[in-house]
Chain A
Amino acid sequence: MSNHSEVASPDVRVIHPLPGTSDEARRQQVAILGNPNSGKSTLFNRLTGLRQKVGNYSGVTVEKKVGQCTLPSGRRVDLLDLPGTYSLHPGSPDEMIVRDVLFGLNPETPSPDLIVFVVDATQLDRHLFLAMQLIEVGRPVVLALNMCDAAEAEGIHIDEMALEQSLGVPVVSISAAKGVGIGTLRRLMDRDVEPSNARFRQRQPAVERVLQSVSARLPRRNLLSDSGRLDLAFALMLDDGEDDALARYAPLDVQDDLRILRARLDDILPQWRTDDATSIYEAIEGVMTHAVSRTGVSRADQRRDRIDRILTHRVWGPMFFVVLMGAIFQSVFEWAAPAMDLIDRGISSLGEFVGSHMPPGPLESLIVDGIIAGVGATIIFVPQIAVLFLLMSIMEATGYMARAAFIMDRIMGRVGLSGRAFIPLLSSFACAIPGIMAARTIDNRRDRITTIMIAPFMSCSARLPVYALLIGAFVPKTRIGILTLPGITLFSMYFLGIAAAILVAWALKRTALRGGRPLYVMELPPYRMPSWRSVLITVRDRCLLFLRKAGTVILAVSIVLWFLASHPGLGAEGVRFEKRIETAERAGNETRAAALRSEMAGAKLRNSFAGRSGRLLEPLIEPLGFDWKIGISLITSFAAREVMVSTMATVFNLDDSGEGFLSLREKLREAKDPKTGEAAYTPLTAVSLMVFFVLACQCMSTVAIVRRETNTWRWPIAMILMMNSLAWIASFAVFQGGRLLGLG
């Protein structure tokens, strides 16, 4: 990169392509930057094809997408899809990332060698604001006027040459969605683009002097131009102390002086914080009259207005929203079901196949019940994640997502959340895993974490078999008007989860996640046809991300749980069991052999580490009305809640077939407390246990995904403690309260 200070005129300097290099360390970094919805991801997908990977910026939940792109000269560059931003003065963690990367404040992500700035050509006016801020930073920039197809349809004509002249950077018209102008853009990216030295901002002399003095004292460690350093100085002046990256960058003595300088400027020039925004918009007006002309009226605006009149109408808007949400919810449940069944059956036949080709023993058990079952426990989530993200990215790409948030903001605001929290919470009724992943669309960090923390309270589909078993066994089918008692019980469980979620959200917003309600500004983009390619890439990325990051944890925990539930085995007793089974088989008595096998499995589980922990747990859960048998199933259900049912069946020496399930109800009703000789489980126990299942954090996959999405162990651990103590207290209250009232 040649020295920018040699450039005397704002002309575009285009120099020969750099020689190709295969050296990874020297590979050029190109970043795509722009306002939200300008088409950055569409362009990114266009330029990188399938060679991309998704990660996180360290310490924050902001997604980092990196891909590779081969330029016409054969040179390969790394392409970075930065989060959308409105301004280089950040208002959210996403925007902070953009600023940090651009100014070289992020130690892991080097400042890009070239920035492709993406503009929605139909909204040039407002998008030029960020463009001008960016150009003044003094890094090499190529301006891509995206959506030229839409601009043409609306009769917007942009004079590229005039724009190049005013901005001092190369300009190219493209359509990322239609693939227009991509070749030209690639060729431009191949050149050694010089930074522009055009300046748009006007600062009062007093402000300029302060910034000069501050910037002279900042460490000179990056490739910034002098005006870029002035920007950093300005950012430091504006900062209210919340900005860690800035604080790390500025020496302590400078930070002390900043406070004094700020106060002095406040005295003499109350407008100093906003003057530059005003002057940039003045510069934009000049450029717009110079370079843009419009013919005809915009049909897009009329169309948008017609659609919005219905979709955000006082009556039709919410109605459409409710129907759509119902459909989404149903789809996550229903569309995913066949694929989930298939995975389920595939995994068990794989297990049977492997089991029948291996000698029985600990290794076979590890592979079949540990590894294969663990893999199954992981990929079983993929269909729901895929369906939910398919629907959500279509909503996002068409522009409806913003309307949904617009409609729901008021209601979600009651619990201190924004409208965007609705869909993640709704999907959590199917499964908390995709729901928690969906919380990524919430841009405010506190809102996102609150949403993640309350999502597992929504009764997911894995709790249904548990409710079904307990309601079937203990709740009489009494009719109350048009309702039945089992129905009311089931509904109450769903309701209890929602109530707990509201309570916890309210509490979190007043304690750990306190903070002023952030400024909420959301763009309502025009309605557009989604780019199916981008939609499918998003779906694929989500599934892969889940498998890679959460899947490994789930697999590991599955194996640990398998070990706990199958070891140390039965020893001599096991040998006796096997002899008896053999005798029964030789006598041709299959029923007897099967009964013995179930009995042996039961004995093995009761004797296992999980079984022993169930007994250890008994004093803790006795006040809730649970015995050690339930204790065991609470431990094993950490693999997935529905495992509770099959564990109970095993504990009661039943096989877990359909018939076994029916007789499990009987067994539960008939089970006697060995000490008192009375019924071990009553309807009150059942209610207490269901309440526990509503509130407790019993799902390792949830823990794994929360760890992954929040990037720390702090939140998943807090979640386990919070949910389980809440569950214990509530079940305690139900059981002991019920007993006081003489209910069981």
Chain B
Amino acid sequence: MTIAQDSPARSETSAAACSVTFSVNGRTSSLVLDPRVTLLDVLREHLHLTGTKKGCDQGQCGACTVMVNGRRINSCLTLALMHEGDEITTIEGLGSPEALHPLQKAFLDHDGFQCGYCTPGQIISAVAVLEEIGAGVPSHVTADLNGAPPATDEEIRERMSGNLCRCSAYPNIIAAIRDMVEDHV
């Protein structure tokens, strides 16, 4: 399907707008967007879901981590237009202040943050990490590629390495995730 075949759009300021429809936290959104808009910017600037953070905008920090069709990705390195029909889950869709996701509660119980800027990305990533271990997806530190990966601290650390924490709350982040291991893996 050709979405836009308008002018070559070489100017710095304008590009032919395109429409896209996807669901965010169970709610369908239809948007008309400049093709340059990343999924991260659409979440924050257009849908005002500011839980997802912009740290580096280069795939290096993980603050922008969201789930797309159940898999975690960096929302800063993907175009919103590439997500036609996708189901996106952000930190706002995981739990609410009244009904926290168990991992959100574990982060509170273990002080898994200081400034909190990296926290939404950490929590989304951690939920996905537990699912990945449960599904048998191997990691760099998995000793036996043919077996099921164990939910050890070493595995969790390696799998969480795409989420940086400038406040270095790492020990407590690991403690919070470890709390969840018995329930979810």
Is B one of A's binding partners? no
